[in-house]
């Protein structure tokens, strides 16, 4: 599995570091891997969410990617089931974090997210 994340975002980078330490493949959205895996998406859409690509090449984005990511972490497999059983709250929670990631990054003492880049 490969997780594509916004490297200009402090909270996103911190989470990607944690995934990588646990053996999950990660790559910035603005990388060669991101260009390949996300080539059909406009840049604004690419940068708006996390993306996970499974071993078969299936891509999931945003809250839909969470079960795939959680299942890659044995101690969080239960969370994958929770997200699947409660998709609406999961989407709302993911959207709230994604919308506020600049503020959350600052609150956590992380590098503030760069402003969104145009296409």
Each residue's pLDDT tens digit, 21-79: 999 999 999 999 999 999 999 988 998 999 999 999 999 999 999 999 999 999 999 99
**pLDDT at position 117 over 80:** no
Which has the closest alpha carbon to 34: 10, 50, 22? 50
Phi then psi for residue 60, to 5 deg, are -125, 145
Euclidean distance between CA atoms 23 and 40, whole angstroms: 27
The pLDDT assigned to 118 comes to 46
Range in 13-22, 58-67, 84-93, 95-104 with the lowest mean pLDDT: 95-104
Q: Which H helix or E strand runs over 48? A: none
């Amino acid at each position: 599995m490969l997780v594509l994340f916004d490297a200009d975002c402090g909270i996103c980078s911190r989470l990607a570091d944690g995934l990588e330490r646990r053996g999950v493949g990660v790559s910035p959205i603005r990388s060669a891997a991101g260009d390949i895996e996300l080539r059909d998406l406009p840049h604004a859409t690419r940068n708006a969410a996390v993306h996970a690509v499974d071993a078969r090449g299936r891509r999931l984005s945003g809250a839909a990617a969470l079960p795939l990511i959680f299942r890659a972490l044995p101690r969080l497999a239960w969370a994958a089931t929770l997200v699947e059983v409660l998709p609406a709250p999961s989407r709302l929670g993911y959207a709230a974090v994604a919308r506020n990631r600049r503020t959350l990054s600052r609150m956590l003492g992380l590098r503030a997210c760069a402003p969104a880049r145009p296409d």
